[in-house]
Amino acid sequence: MTPSEGWRAPETARIARRQVLYGSALAAMTLTVAACTSGENGQQAKQSPSGPGDTKAETKGSAKKPLEPPQGFAEAPALAEQVKAGKLPPVKERLPARPYVIPHHWCEIGNYGGTLLGLVSASDSPIINEYMYGRSLLRWLNDGLDIGPGVVESWESNADASEWTLHLRQGLKWSDGQPVTSADALYWWEDLVIDDVHPALPPDSARSGSGTPMKLAAVDDTTLVLKFDSATPLTPALLANGVDTSGWFLPKHYLQQWHPKYNKKVTKKNWYEDHDLHTNWVMDPRCPTLAGWMTTSFQEGRRIVLERNPYYWCVDKKGNQLPYVDKLVFSVVQESEVMKLQIQEGKIDYVHGAFIPIGLGDISGMKQSQSRHGMELLLWDSGSGTGSVFFFNYDYPEAKLRELIRNPKFRQALSHGFNRSEAQKAIYFNTGEKTTGTYSPKAVEYQADSQGKQIYKQWRDAYVAYDPEKAKRMLDEIGVSVGDDGKRTLPGGGELVIRIDVPANLSNEHEAKNNLLKRDWEALGLTVKINPIAPEGFGDRWQNGQLMAQSSWEVGDGPDHITGPWWFVPIEPGRWAPLHGRMWTLRGTSEEKKELDVDPWKRTPPRINAEPGSPIARLWDLYAQAKSEVDGLKRRRIVLEMIKIHIEDGPFFMGTVANYPQVTMHKKDLRNVPTRAQLALGGMVNTWAHPTPAVYDPEAYFWTNPSAHA
């Protein structure tokens, strides 16, 4: 593969788009939902041509190949004043030799200026990161159908895809004007990830299919070579996944002052605790970033202010340096009702529904108050494979209960005992499709051929039918019998309590679903308790295997099963098999062989290996094969085999409704926010692998009248 071939669309781009169908809406919601998805909502702006040679101006999706940079460049007036005053170099010197040109067909040339007001539920830098794709090595385009360049301008591999060469943009600079070089990547890898003291672990993009970490070397200041012990054909997709927040390129010139290798005054044993606080550019305004905006004020629990990065390396088709909007101000509000009130009172300019508790049930109220808040309401496809999801801890420490949880018939019985039709009606207003729980319906493997479509339906429908009598029979068959008090017991006797552990700040969607689960499962004779837990310690307790079940997430990952595998295969401790996931993260590290004679739940950290022949062992083996398989057709076949394990030995996670609409709201004069009709697949919002709205480049949003939003 030549460097230019690094810009070619992956095999996913050659697969026909899925025609997403929503279910019929409730009578009270039909007209409202239809109005919001029509595309006739003030977004029909004049479109600029995609670039030289275009014969027509397209309005849907994004260019599949990088656009050539314009001959000249322009900048925001405020930056031009700083250049004139000698405080900044000219814009051409601040940009790389070949800046990234935003490729979206729906984008028109915008105006500079103004402030955008938003909301977050906590001083939550991960959520703010989801707005900005500017630090990622590569980028998803067209709702996951294509991969485009990012910080890395081009890339190529050797014949068997075991070695990848990445070419950094020449002249790329951090927000403080310092050059970005391969030394920043080596600092992250050598001084943090493979350092014996620092706890960072190699990300999936830096591991082979067997889990072995890569070897990273720098050829020169802008060229990196990644060497793996086996083929890694999915490396470009893995580098496009998510928003890069703490890996690959870190500002060495700033962070080394907290590293004992570079500063002998650093003598603290756990030096990395101080060091890592400063890697978070959202919380530390002094930390340089590559994002379009940089933090200028961080007030814990109150407000976060971000202003334009004068060295941002992206431009529009005319050469105007982005972003257009001067400033972002995020207010921190924890109470969902207070958030809704602020939106209705017109105090907020942009709302992304995946992060703010605005759902389908709020549409009617938001439409009624539209004259006050002045917002357009859009519905993008969520791309969710589950809606609100329930899953047990496959690695629960109590042996007798763990054995029951691992019995697929137990989980299958509970799935048949859940009335999803009522949840679909009450929570999702009859949109989406009822599901046992799968990956995103937009996942490429489902669209590749008739076999893919069929296996998606098999997984979706496997245990979706509401049949409480069948559920009771299945529970009886595995010894979960009804005792003298009318309550079901553990096999062989003993109290059985299903505890649904949830963060105390649960959204209405999950809360409503959990109440239905409790009601339906208690009708089977089970004892069910919903257990709110302080959100601050919830994640740690789950990853250590201490909690029984979760019911506050959803599965939306993709764009395919192997590049967004966290629910599909336990390779990290956050999902349904936390101790297995922890063991996988330690593969190839010095910790892998330690404490093997210690009880898995008492290890530091708690971790467990898969038993030979178990579902997880088979998933691990197939995942390693798939990740190393160069032939795309063979790789899809491996994925289908993995799905069969989820069908036969699952459900490992239990879904409700797939691909319901997701709400986005914005002030009417905020432009370049795409409609569903302008997106390649209608949107794929609810996934971390495909970060939204970052993939649609909010840096290109602009105000028609910036002075009104000063």
At residue 123 the predicted structure's pLDDT band, cuts being 50, 70 and 90, is low
- Rounded mean pLDDT, 240-257: 91
Which residues, in sequence order, are CB contacts of 86 under 8 Å at separation 6+? none
- Rounded mean pLDDT, 15-27: 26
- In CATH, 1-381+671-710 is 3.40.190.10: yes
Instruction: Determine what percent of the chain is predicted with pLDDT higher than 70.
Output: 92
| Whether the predicted pLDDT of 709 surpasses 70 | yes
Give the least confident one: 22-26, 436-440, 446-450: 22-26
DSSP conformation class of 104: B
Do 460 and 433 form a contact (C-beta atoms < 8 A)?
yes
**Domains 1-381+671-710 and 389-658 agree in fold:** no
More confident residue, 198 or 358: 198
Question: Given CA atoms 426, 427, 433, 437 in this order, what sign does their dihedral have?
Answer: negative
| Whether the predicted pLDDT of 332 surpasses 50 | yes
Ranges of each domain in the chain: 1-381+671-710, 389-658
Kindly report the CATH class assigned to 389-658. alpha beta
Do 697 and 325 form a contact (C-beta atoms < 8 A)?
no
- Rounded mean pLDDT, 549-569: 90
In the three-class reduction of DSSP (H, G, I as helix; E, B as strand; rest coil), residue 446 is classed as helix
Q: Tens digits of per-residue pLDDT, 642-697?
A: 999 999 999 999 999 999 999 999 999 999 999 999 999 999 998 888 999 999 99
At residue 337 the predicted structure's pLDDT band, cuts being 50, 70 and 90, is confident
Cβ neighbour number for residue 133 with a 10 Å cutoff:
30
pLDDT at 309: 98
Q: Tens digits of per-residue pLDDT, 43-70?
A: 333 333 333 333 345 789 999 999 999 9
- Rounded mean pLDDT, 316-324: 98
| CA–CA dist 448, 10 (Å, integer) | 13
Phi-psi region of 291 (alpha: psi -120 to 50; beta: other; left: phi over 0): beta
Instruction: Determine what percent of the chain is predicted with pLDDT higher than 90.
Output: 78
- Rounded mean pLDDT, 624-630: 93
More confident residue, 440 or 7: 440
pLDDT at 375: 94
pLDDT at 17: 23
- Rounded mean pLDDT, 555-566: 87
**Closest among 495, 521, 528 to 401, alpha carbons compared:** 495
pLDDT at 100: 98
| Whether the predicted pLDDT of 422 surpasses 80 | yes
pLDDT at 42: 32
**Closest among 349, 313, 299, 302 to 328, alpha carbons compared:** 349
pLDDT at 124: 63
Q: Catalogue the E-assigned strands of 291-410.
A: 293-299, 303-308, 314-315, 327-332, 350-352, 375-381, 389-392
| Whether the predicted pLDDT of 245 surpasses 80 | no
| Whether the predicted pLDDT of 401 surpasses 70 | yes
Mean pLDDT of the chain: 89
- Rounded mean pLDDT, 111-118: 98
User: For residue 651, is the peptide bond before it cis, meaning its omega torsion is within 30 degrees of 0?
Assistant: yes
| CA–CA dist 619, 639 (Å, integer) | 10
pLDDT at 31: 35
| Whether the predicted pLDDT of 12 surpasses 70 | no
At residue 532 the predicted structure's pLDDT band, cuts being 50, 70 and 90, is very high
| Whether the predicted pLDDT of 4 surpasses 80 | no
| Whether the predicted pLDDT of 35 surpasses 80 | no
pLDDT at 24: 27
pLDDT at 451: 87
Do 217 and 224 form a contact (C-beta atoms < 8 A)?
yes
Q: Tens digits of per-residue pLDDT, 158-213?
A: 999 999 999 999 999 999 999 999 999 999 999 999 998 999 989 989 999 888 99
pLDDT at 505: 77
pLDDT at 555: 93
| Whether the predicted pLDDT of 619 surpasses 80 | yes
